Amino acid sequence: MSTQQLAKASQIIAPYITSWSAEQDLPYRLMERPGLGIGYADESFGDRDAKGVLWQRAAVRHGVGKPEFGKVHPLRQRRAMRQLLCQVCAGPADRNDDGVLWLLRDYRSDWPGWPNGMGCNEPPVCMPCVAISLRLCPALRRGAVAIRARKFDVAGVRGALYRAGAAQEASLAYDDPDVRWLVASALIRKLHCCTFVPLAELTEGR
């Protein structure tokens, strides 16, 4: 590992988008708004994004308590996806002429041409954090690929879709009329013009 990589590994306790134990979900009461979907009873301006979608409330106390691996903080995920920040260190994601760098579970068997056209809720990564992620993330150790995408439009949101008093996980486009019944917890970008990058090329000397 390089000196830069060692320094970064010593600083990162948990990925930037990981929730911490002190970041409990904030209390809320959902209510139906006739003709408009759902909203919080005490809703404020910051509860919705620029497209009017309601977002999950969560305390922001990054680094306080213990990291809750596997639980993603909705506001940091949204920030990382919107600004194309590395999901591990929150620095700028790596970008070159072939596009922005993503590190994903390997699902190439899902369809020909994967991941072109895939809705992705995992933020991109920077080059130095690839080796760290491959070494420490259990999911990626089961099979990972690196890709660069030249197109990555914001496409929608994932969250809890409320119907008849019950909620189920759903991913919806921003122009889906049902999105007014959803409490979002993740921003989705749709990946296009993707090329695979050999992992060895990204981790050599790191």
Distances (CA, A) of 182 to 33, 47, 178: 13, 13, 7
Q: Check residue 163 and give its pLDDT.
A: 84
Give me the phi and psi of 64, to 5 degrees please: -100, 130
Question: What six digits make up the tokens of 4?
Answer: 């830069």
User: Is the pTM above the cut of 0.85?
Assistant: yes
pLDDT, one tens digit per residue, over 71-130 is 999 999 999 999 999 999 999 999 999 999 999 999 999 999 999 999 999 999 999 999
Q: Which residues of the chain have pLDDT under 70?
A: 1-12, 205-206
| Cβ atoms of 78 and 49 closer than 8 Å | yes
Q: What is the rounded CA–CA span in Å between residue 13 and residue 21?
A: 14
Q: Check residue 4 and give its pLDDT.
A: 45
Q: Check residue 7 and give its pLDDT.
A: 40
Q: Is 161 exposed, middle or buried (0-12, 13-18, 19+ CB in 10 A)?
A: buried
Q: Check residue 137 and give its pLDDT.
A: 86
Q: Check residue 22 and give its pLDDT.
A: 93
Q: Check residue 11 and give its pLDDT.
A: 58
Q: Check residue 6 and give its pLDDT.
A: 36
Q: What is the rounded CA–CA span in Å between residue 149 and residue 129?
A: 18
